Amino acid sequence: MKGKTLLENIASISSTEFYTPVPKGYKAGMTKYLVITGSVMSGIGKGMLTSSLCKLFANRGMNVEPMKLEAYLNVDAGTLNPFRHGEVFVLDDGTETDMDLGSYERFLDKNLGRENFITSGLIYKTIVEKERKGAYLGRDVQFIPHVTGEIKRFVRELAVKKKPDIVVIEIGGTVGDYENMFALEAMRELMYEESSHNVCFLNATYIIEPPSLGEHKSKAAQLGIRRLLSLGIQPNIIVCRSHTPIPKAIKEKISLNSNVPVERVIGVEDIDKIYELPLALRKKELDEKILEVLRVEKKFRPNNKELIEWTKKNRVSKKAPSVKIALAGKYTNVKDAYISILKALEHCEGVLNTRIETCWIDTAKLEREPRKIASLKNYDGIIVPGGFGKRGIEGKIAVADYCRKKNIPYLGLCLGFQVAVIAFARSVCKLKGANSTEIEPKCKHAVIDLLPEQRQISGLGATMRLGGHDVELMPGTIAHRIHGKQSFIRRRFRHRYELNPEYIEILSKHGMVFSGKAPDKRVMQILELPQHKFYMACQYHPEFTSRPLKPDPLFLHFIKAARRKHVR
């Protein structure tokens, strides 16, 4: 064993209390790791901090792979209620994930996969399946070393598969949660096996500022960091989130109580626009300090000119025109439920130099007070987002119908496509009783229905059309033109109900144009009304692939039309 690394020694012992499965081709030190934890409270922007650091590392020319380690026992995020956990983000390979994966993709401008997202449920499922197959050779399976060992295996498999320079691991929740203790222990073991210069720990804490006192208080942050220390993890860097800039005295208190040099205690106060954050962190040299810990700061140099230009292009001038856009949905009390849509709208702001004011319409309330539908005339454009279930559906149908009648720019996403079809079938095609079988299984005209191959599926987590699929664009249509006259585009789906092919002819006869479809199938995926100022809907989720400086064409042209709403 002489001359071997600790990891090689552990892997070579046949009878041991260790359990550290090492993927083929993996060597300690081949990849650097940044582990980001949170303390005091959730919701302080740990996901945006992670995304911004990924952006900074990529700006240095590093191959970056982010990973989210979630504590909950769900195998994936597919069955989570948006009221409880925000948006379910869908990756190209069909993995249903936490919304932070969407943030990582947007800042890195790259597609991620199932290996970038781990839940405790997935870990436990893997362990139980292995145990039933006898993979643990008769050992009693325990949290340590088996749960922690499997977590490290997932992390190292990502390193082997993608060969990144750095893996940035965000631990969900906060230090002290029972749920994530084994994830934290796994990261402690990772540092033990890889050595301290290959793993950097960053703790994002919160410095409270009680209005009644008018000053910052650090005691809660001190206690949160001490909890991390009690788990055997010595943070290398502390990021102090706060509403306003923190004074030097607060940094010194944090430094003294955490064993972290004061120059590595970084204050990060609130900013107006999230796309300013990477440059703000660069100015504080946060990425430099991380790479110093990992001993590669001289190997990867920043491209400040490129970062400044990226930041500048995402800005909107003070004199920019504004538009008022309404989201008509049923999760209006939880803005994170539509976070990717909000981000897709932000992507249009910088490109079009237009300020977008987002408003909210609760379609369930609209059903109870139908007279308020007239208030839609106050908006420059309406978006009907995706969703599941019956609540608020008639309100969404009414919104789609009103926008068509009053020539208000309309963008329907997923369910927004379906309600546009239902509204058109009822109002224009005079198909009384037109509906979706998801809402009314025995409706007279099932214009929206399960396709035959979907009817045998059981379980909420077994959605048929999920993840990235090609969409064929019809020449001569608006969709074809605004997508640069491409024959095919690739977009992400998450649904089970489709336009019933039996109704394509009558809808088309009355003026609805289906400008995008599944290749070689009569599965319609984009609709448009050419005579309208802008009336388009798609069965997929264009918000999932929209990126800063690269807004999805449907969003971009929707906002362009909204700007022209009052022009005669």
Q: What are the residue numbers of the active site?
A: 414, 541, 543
SS3 105: helix
Q: How far is CA 88 from CA 55, 69, 96, in A?
A: 22, 15, 6
Partner residues linked to 410 by β-bridges: 382, 535
Which amino acid appears at position 339 of this protein?
I
Q: How is 299-365 classified by DSSP, letter by letter?
A: TS---HHHHHHHHHHT---TT--EEEEEEEES-TT-GGGGHHHHHHHHHHHHHHT-EEEEEEEEHHH
Can you tell me the distance from the alpha carbon of 510 to that of 423, in angstroms, rounded to the nearest whole number? 13
Report helix angle 415-427 to 393-406, nearest 10: 60
Output 82-85 pairs: Cβ under 8 A, ≥24 positions apart: 82/331, 82/334, 82/336, 82/337, 83/331, 83/333, 83/334, 83/337
DSSP state, 551? -
Can you tell me the distance from the alpha carbon of 328 to that of 331, in angstroms, rounded to the nearest whole number? 9
Q: Tokens for 223?
A: 């206690």
Partner residues linked to 535 by β-bridges: 410
Can you tell me the distance from the alpha carbon of 436 to that of 493, in angstroms, rounded to the nearest whole number? 18
Q: Tokens for 413?
A: 């996403």
